[in-house]
Structure 1
Amino acid sequence: MDTGLVTTLIVVGVVVVVLVVVGIAVWATSRSLVALKGRVDQAWSEIETQFHRRAELVPTIVDTVRGYATHENGLFETVTQARAETLTAGDAAAASEAEGHMQKALKRVFSIAEGYPQLQSSQAFLQLQSELVATEDKIQSARRYYNGSVRELNTKIRVFPGSAVARNRGYREAPFFETAEPAAIAEPPRVQF
């Protein structure tokens, strides 16, 4: 056999092996990006579910407190507006801002409630408060899971070969669910009766 032909076959073989390895790496990276994006979307869905659960509780809490603190209409309007803002937030950036407003409003509602002993002893109010605290804890948990998923996706997008595959497939870094005022969401609104 001719040495030139052997050399050509070796070069072709090496090129084919390299192309196969590159193809497998691109395929694996692409699948990984799809999985990570799916995890981010699923985590965001959980946050939205908890927002809706809280949104169902808030009007009942507001109505209960309003029965005792009738002169606080401005606060109740603020809570209603924050609730609507949270429900219409389409992405993590808008939800982050809305969440800060909601937390401030709820803390004010519970601060006002402290001044009404009859309200503090109302079994219905205590049950609503307990449900709200449980929901806030679930929101915080979902937020941590979402941000962890976003961190993994964003890291994959920034590091080669993920960066090349992401660029070619149109993947973008996902925003974290943060707030301009971290103290507002540092802990759920809690009032001890």
Structure 2
Amino acid sequence: MTTLIVVGVIVVLLLFVVVGAYNRLVALDQTANQSFADIDVQLKQRQDLIPNLIETVKGYAAHEKGTLDAVIQARNAATSANSVNDKVQAENMLTGALGKLFALSEAYPDLKANTNFLQMQADLSDIENKLAAARRFFNNAVSEFNAIRRQFPTVLFAGMVGFGTDKPFFDVGKGERATMNAAPPTVNFQA
């Protein structure tokens, strides 16, 4: 009789551990999904700003068609990306293309002084700051999910209940990382 009670208590304790670990995985998965949705909102705002930015630049630098086309293609790829990995890759391409577009503005003083261009540049900068914060929150949520998924006893059953793989991080990508490791730009006020 006491053996049956001990076995029953052990089974109930194991059940509590498994249910608790599963519920923790579900909560962390939901947090990661919500934080990615927050990134999506910021990405959509950035993508919506780009057509107006391109039209403004066209008015001053229409013969820079290659740069403008690269931004348009990168934006189209970003809007059609679905998975986290596809979005990361597309957004990194878009960031690079926008960098070239803003570098182009240096060659056109009238464009650089245009109030619409300056406002869109400020709006884009604000969105980029919000995106950076949203990415940090997402990557933290993914890190926590991945760590719990790999911990004992969760690792024993995570795959069986649909949590068998790590979630991917939203990182800056190899090209962006190389740019960040390059020498900082020089500022020249003599122009």
Q: CA deviation at 1:180?
A: 2.6
Aligned to 1:71: 63
In structure 2, distance between residues paired with 1:54 and 1:169: 36
2:158 alignment partner, SS class:
helix
Taking structure 1 as reference, are residues 154 and 161 closer, same or farther at Cα in structure 2, changes over 3 Å only?
same
In structure 2, distance between residues paired with 1:45 and 1:180: 24
1:176 to 169, 181, 188: 169
In structure 1, distance between residues paired with 2:178 and 2:94: 9
Unmatched segments (≥5 aa) in structure 2: 181-186
TM-score under structure 2 length normalisation = 0.89
Q: CA deviation at 1:185?
A: 7.9
What is the RMSD of the two structures over their aligned residues, measured on CA atoms? Answer: 2.0
Identical amino acids, percent of aligned pairs: 34
Work out whether 1:123 is the aligned partner of 2:115: yes
Amino acid in the other structure paired with 1:102: L
Taking structure 1 as reference, are residues 99 and 117 closer, same or farther at Cα in structure 2, changes over 3 Å only?
same
- Structure 1 contact 97–180 (Cα < 8 Å) conserved: no
Unmatched segments (≥5 aa) in structure 1: 1-8, 187-191
Amino acid in the other structure paired with 2:175: E
In structure 1, distance between residues paired with 2:74 and 2:112: 24
Amino acid in the other structure paired with 2:129: D
Residues matched between the structures, number = 182
CA deviations over 1:39-76 (Å, ceiling 9, x no partner)? 11001111111111001101111111111001111111
Taking structure 1 as reference, are residues 25 and 11 closer, same or farther at Cα in structure 2, changes over 3 Å only?
same
Q: Larger Rg: 1 or 2?
A: 1
- Show structure 1 runs of 4+ deviating over 6 A: none
